Structure 1
Amino acid sequence: MTTPFRLFSLPFVPLKQVLDNIGPQGIIILSLCSRRSKSIAVTYRGPSKDVRLTLDFGLWDCVEDSNHSCMNILLSVEETGNLPMDETLETVRIGNFLKVPVKMEKHIVKGVNLITYWKDRITGLAAIGDCAREIFNKNISEVCIYDKQEKNWLRRAAAWVRNSQETFQILRCNFVPKNHKDLDFILENSNCTEKLFLCVRPCEHYSPAKLPNFRIDSLHVYYSYWIKQNHLLTMDCKYIWLQDSKLSSQDLNVFLKHWMAGGCSKLEQFRAFVEEPTDYEIVFDGVQFTERENDVARGYVNEESKHYTLRGGFDIKRISDNITATILNNGENSRFFLLIVWPDFAGNPY
């Protein structure tokens, strides 16, 4: 019996050695060939399954291995309306879906990846997400939701995020909501545990229907003008980054007192780019602090292991454990508020 794959006919080549060298994309393609090959892919354990799964709704419409700096797409989704008219495609089974058309394609950004074609894009993305979880024996770590001009796109993507697995590590949202209920749905159903990135621009007077659950490690809100004092006081994060904020100096004063009394106890860094210049007299009204002159320089290492020199600032202490935080003095016209909690991310005391 002859075979075009002579390597696989060599009896002395162990199957595991082959699987160790075909990589994550090879593993997932192998799983689509037959039920037996899928069983081999699922039960295999080795370096080709060393992946960090990310599911992308709306930008690249794909499931990828985000373990590496470059994009490594495992499967992507296109609508059947984009099927090539001049060729007959192979079909595969993905989950409960039979005869899904597929095509290998080389893309200038995506690289070489297997495209799957579906009548409904969300259905396809949900299917390849479930497929990747089954083949690699692990949950999806990160979900990205971007804009798409399709009816109920955002709500359906967010519903899949809520229903598919108990938690995700990271959720990234970058879209213009069609109405305030889109962002409400995201905030009320977010089940991420580590990082939430919201690059979502709601209407100017938007206010969440319910208080958001901001109990995560890292929160980045790029259009945060809708975040009020009551939202700020519900946060329990290690890292808070607010851009386009309308928080006042009085709001910041209330937050400092909240932290000193034990609120937001996990906090390690708080950044806010505010609309009005910070009035430090208001910020520190009723707050006990020690002012450091600018000739006092302290080394600081952030969460990305970057080293900075901080000069001066105002030191405050949390009552319960004497943990110190420093608020930088950026001048009377500054619209940037920065609070850091010691020790820093490298363990350096103040």
Structure 2
Amino acid sequence: MSSAFPIFSLPYIPLKQVLDNFGPHAIINISLCSLRSKAVAISYRGSSKDVQLELGNYCLQRYEKMTFCWLLNAEETSKMRKDRILDTVRIGSFRNVPVEMEMGGKVLTTYWDDRMVGLLEIGSYAREIFNQDIHEINLGEEQDLGQAVDWITNVQGSIKSLHCEFEPTNDSVLDYVLTNCKYTESLSLHVKPSDGYCPAEMPNFDIDYLYILPSFWIKQNHLLTMNCKYIVLQDSKLGNRDINILVQHWMNGGCVKLKELLITVEVLIDYEEILEAVEHTVRTEDTLRDYVNHENVLLSIGSSFDIKRSTDGTTATIEDDGVDSKWFYMAVWPDFVGNSCH
């Protein structure tokens, strides 16, 4: 990919205004054209770089306005078309990476002998061009986990958001990820370990967002180490007594960051047992209150129980979902946009 760009002759301010209108796709594509264009892309600071970068599923994506859009794709060289010769670019230490535009010019596909090596090279290249770390990594193939975790550790030290969705052949695979990958804001585990799984070390549950499906391996001791804004535990084996202990833990100042908690369980929810020794106020169906969650979704809470934290007077609401419910939902006020419980 080649050639001169007359826009590079523009003074800095007009050039920045042009690049502001290009968008992230054009910034990364231009950077691949020459060493000069790469230098311009790196030095540029503006709105076309205001994105969150995600690495996973063999592609580099940007996250913007609740939508993921592909920037670069990594494919095996065996998938290359044989009917024509492709252009090549330099990415990192790889000088002749074949590329072609796909999806109507919306994504640039790169071809590699080793697809995972290519993905991680793309990640390193994107960090350089966008002057920022990769925000999220998605681990979806067990055989790639070691390389991905080592890349996170060696290249940027940590990752803000970690999403895992793979089928482990043994529990040591999940242990390796939880022990060696430093995630700092969000953990999403869609991984089913063995029935008797217990983490080799206590995972980091002091983050903002935690999603675990299935969560049958989460025990009371794990529950009491959690300090997150948003917790979802699906297919849990926790009982009403465990939830009661968690509620009392919160009332006494534990899990201080909590804003929303959702647990789906095997047994029927017994609110009498959950609220045992817990001072609470009953709210009836006609006292409907609106709660806006972290995704800016409006939830209407009717029949419920209000509880108050003794340490600072913060109020939380436990939704009464009826006698046949197998899910426990608790929301802490104010909500994510500042609404109070009154």
Q: Same fold (TM over 0.5)?
A: yes
Deviations 1:195-246 (A, max 9, x none): 2211112222221111111111111112111111111111000111111111
Alignment equivalent of 2:64, drawn from 56, 63, 67: 67
Residue 290 of structure 2 is aligned to residue 296 of structure 1: no
Answering whether residue 108 of structure 2 is matched by residue 114 of structure 1, we say yes
1:101 aligns with 2:98: yes
Query: Of 265, 273, 278, which residue of structure 1 is paired with 2:264?
Result: 273
Look up the match of 2:40: 40
How far the C-alpha of 1:250 sits from its partner, in A, is 0.9
Counterpart secondary structure, 2:118 = helix
Is 1:181 the counterpart of 2:172? The answer is yes
Query: Where does residue 147 of structure 1 map in the other structure?
Result: 141
Could you tell me which runs of 5 or more consecutive residues in structure 1 were left unpaired when the two chains were aligned. Answer: none
CA distance in structure 1 between the partners assigned to 2:86 and 2:237 by the alignment: 54
C-alpha distance in structure 2 between counterparts of 1:101 and 1:306, whole Å: 43
Query: Which residue of the partner structure matches residue 202 of structure 1?
Result: 193
Q: How does 1:142-291 map to 2 (within 5 A)?
A: 142-147=136-141, 152-291=143-282
Answering whether residue 342 of structure 2 is matched by residue 348 of structure 1, we say no
CA distance, structure 2, for counterparts of residue 94 and residue 155 of structure 1: 22
1:85 partner amino acid: K
Aligned-partner SS, 2:263: strand
Q: Secondary structure at the match of 1:143?
A: strand
Partner of 2:117: 123
Q: CA distance change for structure 1 residues 257 and 42 in 2, over 3 Å: closer, same or farther?
A: same
Superimposed CA distance per residue, residues 52-78 of structure 1 (whole angstroms, 9 cap, x where no aligned partner): 21111xx3x111222255543221111
Q: Distance in 2 between matches of 1:120 and 1:100?
A: 12
Equivalence for 1:316: 307
Q: Aligned letter for 2:133? A: N
Which amino acid in the other structure matches residue 200 of structure 1? V
Q: TM-score scaled by structure 1? A: 0.88
**C-alpha separation between the residues in 2 aligned to 1:164 and 1:243?**
33
Query: What residue is the counterpart of 1:77 in the other structure?
Result: 74
Question: Are the equivalent residues in 1 in contact too, given 2:3–2:33 (CA < 8 A)?
Answer: no
The residue type paired with residue 309 of structure 2 is R
What is the rounded CA distance, in whole Å, between the counterparts of 2:11 and 2:307 in structure 1?
68
1:115-134 C-alpha deviation (Å, 9 max, x unpaired): 21112122111111110110
Question: Are 1:136 and 2:130 matched, yes or no?
Answer: yes
In structure 2, what is the Cα distance between the partners aligned to 1:79 and 1:127? 14
Question: 2: distance between equivalents of 1:91 and 1:339?
Answer: 54
Quickly say closer, same or farther: Cα 1:17–1:345, change in 2 above 3 A: closer
In 2, distance between residues paired with 1:187 and 1:342?
Answer: 31
Cα distance in 1, alignment partners of residues 157 and 72 from structure 2: 23
Map 1:20-39 onto structure 2 (within 5 A): 20-39=20-39
Shift in Å at residue 295 of structure 1?
Answer: 3.5
Instruction: Tell me the distance in 1 between the aligned counterparts of 2:25 and 2:292.
Output: 37
Shift of 1:5: 7.4
For 1:54 and 1:6, the matched residues in 2 are separated by: 29
Shift of 1:12: 9.8
Structure 1 residues 72 and 333 mapped into 2: Cα distance closer, same or farther (>3 Å)?
Answer: closer
Shift of 1:113: 1.8
Q: Structure 1 pair 10/217, CA: closer, same or farther in 2 (3 Å)?
A: closer
Deviation at residue 96 of structure 1 after TM alignment = 1.6
Distance 1:71 1:233, change over 3 A: closer
Cα RMSD of the aligned pairs, angstroms, is 2.5
CA distance in structure 1 between the partners assigned to 2:306 and 2:8 by the alignment = 71
**Conserved? CA contact 2:8–2:15, under 8 Å:** no
Map of 1:52 onto structure 2:
52
Give the unaligned 5+ runs of structure 2.
Answer: none
d(CA) in 2 for partners of 1:92, 1:114: 11
Counterparts in 2 of 1:218 and 1:331: CA distance versus 1, 3 Å: same
Alpha-carbon deviation of 1:280? 2.2
What amino acid maps onto 2:334 in structure 1?
Answer: P
Q: 1:188: how far off?
A: 1.8
Single out whichever of 25-34 and 121-130 deviates more from structure 2. Answer: 25-34
**3-state SS of 2:255 partner:** coil
Identify the range of structure 1 (192-201 vs 332-341) with the bigger mean alpha-carbon deviation. 192-201
- Please tell me whether residue 89 in structure 1 is matched to residue 83 in structure 2: no
